[in-house]
């Protein structure tokens, strides 16, 4: 069973099928807090992906050494070390971003995505697959943060990644860059994603019923 | 006066859930019943006040004098995890009814980013010991407030005809957005 999962799917499932933000509903706090602009979202997602990839790698490497009673504590220490690295690099190299993201860089420690992947995947799989899974989930998180950040930035300040995309005649919706806008955007996006999935499922179900009827009729024809 | 300002700012104006986005997971997860929302809020407040005291002592009396501030993140998270375990044991010994009311919520609090966020914020803002405690109390009060309002609204929502795709998390987020708008009205208070 395990062999059947292709390496590509190991990566891709995190981007779409189990997208951390929209499907697993993990890591909500940074998703909502830092998406004032697309660039902040990207920075946050990259920082999270870095921690996710390296902690998954280490956890996967030592997965047979850690006794299962203390595994959560061990994971947290590993994750916290990488978060410290990211935090210090951000403070030294990207001061503005570090200020904009505020406490949310150190808060990557308690981001459920990382502990969730460690517990559900990295602790049970080989390092290579763990890295692919981490990259996939990171990419999915990046996608979600970029979309939410992009929408909020375009509607709230007329720009995308700092470039003006809407004409000056458009009155920016200030609410989009305020906390309320984050909740509304994310809620609506999640609702539309669900609606799309429901419609797709219904179509699949309808085509299945159609096929079933066709086969029944064929059977009847052969019986006659 | 200063302390009152900190309390009101932490609980209402800069509400942890609705304007700082800390502790969203329990806010979405545990807000479907009023009684459990209040229990969760009380448990979180309890841990918040203790965390505020311990992390203040840890940072300003241990890490800072010995130039160990780079250990801040691992130190805080380990202390919080140990603290939650300890609080759980103490409550179990001291008061059985309280343990039964808060019991299942306590382990969840370890991964609640509101707690770690509180510890990080009080260091960032350079609060004194007393200010930290008031900050912890205010944040907890704000958390209870947001959680119980949300739970009240969600109990009403149960009876309403929400489109299927929006049931659960999406409608909760939209309601939270409207609540956040309402809380913005307090912005001019301080």
pLDDT tens sequence across B158-177:
888 888 888 888 888 899 99
CB B151 within 8 A of CB B32: yes
Q: Quick: pLDDT tens for B69-110.
A: 888 888 888 888 888 888 888 888 887 877 777 666 777 777
Q: What would the mean pLDDT of A200-217 be, rounded to a whole number?
A: 75
Q: What is the pLDDT of residue B103?
A: 62
Q: What is the pLDDT of residue A222?
A: 67
- What pairs with residue A160 in β-bridges? A163
Q: What is the pLDDT of residue A216?
A: 73
Q: What is the pLDDT of residue A178?
A: 85
Determine, for residues A179 and B73 on separate chains, whether the beta-carbon distance falls below 8 Å. Answer: no
- Give the pLDDT band of residue A83 (cuts 50, 70, 90): very high
Query: Could you tell me what percent of chain A has a pLDDT over 70?
Result: 97
Q: What is the pLDDT of residue A1?
A: 41
The tokens for A157 are: 């300040």
Q: What is the pLDDT of residue B132?
A: 92
The tokens for B93 are: 């010994």
**Averaged pLDDT of chain B:** 85
Q: What is the DSSP string of B113-148?
A: HHHHHHHHHHHHTT--HHHHHHHHHHHHHHHHHHHH
What radius of gyration do chain A's Cα atoms show? 22
| Predicted confidence (pLDDT) at residue B54 exceeds the cutoff of 70 | yes
Query: Which residue is closest to A176 within chain B, CA to CA?
Result: B177
The tokens for A57 are: 């790698």
Determine, for residues B173 and A192 on separate chains, whether the beta-carbon distance falls below 8 Å. Answer: no
Rounded distance between C-alpha atoms, residue B12 and residue B2, angstroms: 15
Size of interface A-B (CB pairs under 8 A): 120
Q: Is B53 on the interface with A (CB under 8 A)?
A: no
Determine, for residues A81 and B22 on separate chains, whether the beta-carbon distance falls below 8 Å. Answer: no
Contacts of A184 in chain B (CB under 8 A): 173-174, 177-178
Distance from the B146 Cα atom to the nearest Cα atom in chain A, whole angstroms: 14
| Predicted confidence (pLDDT) at residue A224 exceeds the cutoff of 70 | no
Q: What is the dihedral of CA B107, B55, A33, B189, to 10 degrees?
A: 110
Query: Which residue is closest to A180 within chain B, CA to CA?
Result: B177
Determine, for residues B77 and A110 on separate chains, whether the beta-carbon distance falls below 8 Å. Answer: yes
Query: Could you tell me what percent of chain A has a pLDDT over 90?
Result: 12
Q: Quick: pLDDT tens for A141-161.
A: 998 889 888 888 888 888 888
Q: Quick: pLDDT tens for A176-205.
A: 888 888 889 988 988 888 888 888 877 777
| Predicted confidence (pLDDT) at residue B6 exceeds the cutoff of 50 | yes
Q: Is B28 on the interface with A (CB under 8 A)?
A: yes
- Give the pLDDT band of residue A53 (cuts 50, 70, 90): very high
Q: What is the pLDDT of residue B141?
A: 92
Mark which residues 113-152 of A lie under 8 Å from B by CB: 115
Q: Is A202 on the interface with B (CB under 8 A)?
A: no
Per DSSP bridges, beta strands A159-160 and A163-164 are antiparallel
| Predicted confidence (pLDDT) at residue B10 exceeds the cutoff of 70 | yes
Q: What would the mean pLDDT of A117-139 be, rounded to a whole number?
A: 88
Question: In this predicted model, which residue has the larger pLDDT, A28 or A1?
Answer: A28
ipTM for the complex shown: 0.83
Query: Which residue is closest to A197 within chain B, CA to CA?
Result: B165
Q: What is the pLDDT of residue B190?
A: 67
Determine, for residues B172 and A186 on separate chains, whether the beta-carbon distance falls below 8 Å. Answer: no
- Give the pLDDT band of residue A85 (cuts 50, 70, 90): very high
């Amino acid at each position: 069973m395990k062999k059947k999962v292709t390496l590509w799917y190991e990566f891709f499932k995190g981007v779409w099928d189990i997208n951390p933000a929209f499907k697993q509903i993990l890591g909500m706090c940074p998703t909502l807090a830092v998406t004032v602009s697309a660039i902040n979202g990207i920075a946050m997602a990259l920082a999270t992906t870095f921690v996710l990839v390296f902690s998954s790698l280490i956890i996967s490497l030592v997965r047979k050494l850690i006794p299962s009673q203390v595994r959560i504590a061990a994971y947290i220490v590993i994750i916290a070390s990488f978060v410290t690295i990211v935090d210090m690099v951000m403070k030294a190299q990207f001061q503005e971003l570090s200020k904009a993201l505020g406490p949310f860089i150190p808060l990557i420690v308690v981001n459920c995505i990382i502990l969730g992947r460690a517990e559900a995947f990295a602790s049970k799989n080989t390092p290579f697959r763990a890295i692919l899974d981490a990259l996939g989930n990171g990419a999915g998180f990046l996608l979600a943060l970029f979309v939410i950040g992009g929408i909020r930035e375009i509607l709230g300040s007329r720009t995308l990644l700092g470039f003006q995309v809407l004409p000056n005649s458009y009155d920016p919706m200030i609410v989009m860059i305020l906390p309320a806008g984050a909740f509304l955007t994310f809620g609506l996006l999640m609702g539309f994603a669900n609606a799309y999935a429901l419609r797709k499922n219904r179509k699949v179900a309808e085509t299945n019923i159609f096929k079933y009827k066709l086969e029944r009729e064929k059977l009847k024809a052969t019986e006659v | 006066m200063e302390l009152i300002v900190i309390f009101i700012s932490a609980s209402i104006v800069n509400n942890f859930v609705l304007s700082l986005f800390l502790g969203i997971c329990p806010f979405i997860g545990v807000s479907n019943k009023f009684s459990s929302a209040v229990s969760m809020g009380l448990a979180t407040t309890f841990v918040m006040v203790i965390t505020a005291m311990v992390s203040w002592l840890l940072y300003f009396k241990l890490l800072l004098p010995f130039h160990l501030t780079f250990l801040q993140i691992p130190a805080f998270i380990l202390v919080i995890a140990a603290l939650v375990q300890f609080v759980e044991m103490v409550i179990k010994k001291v008061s059985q009814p309280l343990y039964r009311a808060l019991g299942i919520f306590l382990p969840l609090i370890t991964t609640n980013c509101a707690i770690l966020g509180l510890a990080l914020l009080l260091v960032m803002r350079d609060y004194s010991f007393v200010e930290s405690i008031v900050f912890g109390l205010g944040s907890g009060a704000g958390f209870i407030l947001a959680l119980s309002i949300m739970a009240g609204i969600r109990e009403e929502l149960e009876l309403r005809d929400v489109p299927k795709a929006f049931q659960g998390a999406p409608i909760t987020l939209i309601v939270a957005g409207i609540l956040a708008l309402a809380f913005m009205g307090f912005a001019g208070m301080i």
